[in-house]
Amino acid sequence: MFDSYGRKINYLRISVTDLCNLRCKYCMPEKGIDKKWHKEILTLEEIEAITESFVELGVDKVRITGGEPLVRKNILKLIDGIGKIGGVKDLAMTTNGILLKDYAEDLKNAGLNRLNISLDTLNEEKYSQITKVGKLKHVLEGIEAAKKSGLTPIKLNVVLIKDFNENEIEDFINLTRYEDIEIRFIELMPIGTLKHWSSNKYISNDTVLEKMPELIEIESADISSPARYYKLPNAKGKVGLINPISCKFCGNCNRIRLTADGKLKSCLHSNSEVDLKKLLREGKDIKTVITDTIKSKPKEHELENGNYINREMTAIGG
């Protein structure tokens, strides 16, 4: 599938729930969100059916997100089902890692290939502060369990937040010296009701290069990746910089998103959505709608013009 700008769309990101066991400031409103009725979210069978349609149209990469995907009931059954769809070459998940210690081996056995783990600080006190309810040790235990289970190489997603974790940039990068791990620094994006807070806490990824000038830029193996990659001399791992604000990452975008309540989003930063759940439950053929939605995918986001989306990040999928 190609959009109107000639970009090949082969990557589907599926949010399986908008619920989460953490309350990270930039993602989830402090009071949480209204819990949806079961009938309001896609069933596992519907998610599989939609995924099959996407695969038949050319998608070969699938990522499971949330909310926190590991709080979704029967998540292992879903992973197993999607993993068995012929044509899915890469099945990944983004998780906060809190429940990973108990799930890692089963996820691998169910067919998951790899993991991204969200971790914005290596300091226990600061971790409790940013997540409101989380314990850092649970994430670290989850990372070790993922390594032992073969869900590697692991990527750590680090959202840069002004006056919070810019003093830990060196600590995160130093993890790559001796471990085959990818540290991905992500610029804070203004999204949902927290957009003004996020704008005030924004810090450019240029800060990473200023603090670690010994980083050497390397070529990316995946031109559709939003990250620019760097490496310390002789390091085992690497560093990725994702710059949605300071340097648009839209040029080679290959992805499309499905929310937990069945809305199809051609762009993370667009309020435009198509209700696939409604069409599927009416027995309609969704393939034409999918291809039409991809054709309408915008060239790039317009965050610089103040065009922010209304959904919270937890309701879109990280």
Domains of the chain by range and CATH? 11-153+170-175+251-315 (3.20.20.70)
Residue 300 has pLDDT above 70, yes or no: yes
Element of type H or E holding 229: strand 227-231
More confident residue, 51 or 33: 51
155 carries a ligand binding annotation: yes
User: Taking the CA atoms of the chain, what radius of gyration do you get in angstroms?
Assistant: 19
247 carries a ligand binding annotation: no
26 carries a ligand binding annotation: yes
20 carries a ligand binding annotation: yes
Q: What band does 301 get if pLDDT is binned at 50, 70 and 90? A: confident
Which residues does 283 contact at the CB level (< 8 Å), separation at least 6? none
Q: What would the mean pLDDT of 122-128 be, rounded to a whole number?
A: 98
Q: What would the mean pLDDT of 249-270 be, rounded to a whole number?
A: 89
More confident residue, 200 or 157: 157
Query: Which pair of tokens denotes residue 148?
Result: 């032992």
255 carries a ligand binding annotation: yes
Q: How far apart are CA 124 and CA 117, in angstroms?
A: 16
Q: How far apart are CA 138 and CA 205, in angstroms?
A: 28
7 carries a ligand binding annotation: no
- Which phi and psi (to 5°) does residue 160 adopt? -75, 130
Q: How far apart are CA 143 and CA 34, in angstroms?
A: 30
Contact between 22 and 68 under an 8 Å Cβ cutoff? The reply is yes
211 carries a ligand binding annotation: no
Contact between 255 and 12 under an 8 Å Cβ cutoff? The reply is yes
288 carries a ligand binding annotation: no
Q: What band does 248 get if pLDDT is binned at 50, 70 and 90? A: low
Which residues does 69 contact at the CB level (< 8 Å), separation at least 6? 15, 16, 17, 75, 93, 94, 95
Mean pLDDT (the chain) is: 91
Residue 242 has pLDDT above 90, yes or no: yes
257 carries a ligand binding annotation: yes
Tokens 């850092």 belong to residue: 136
284 carries a ligand binding annotation: no
Q: What is the structure's pLDDT at 33?
A: 74
> For residue 92, what are the CA distances in angstroms to 128, 193, 206?
26, 28, 28
Q: What would the mean pLDDT of 44-70 be, rounded to a whole number?
A: 98
Q: What is the structure's pLDDT at 192?
A: 62
Q: What is the structure's pLDDT at 309?
A: 61
Contact between 169 and 211 under an 8 Å Cβ cutoff? The reply is yes
Q: What is the structure's pLDDT at 252?
A: 86
27 carries a ligand binding annotation: yes
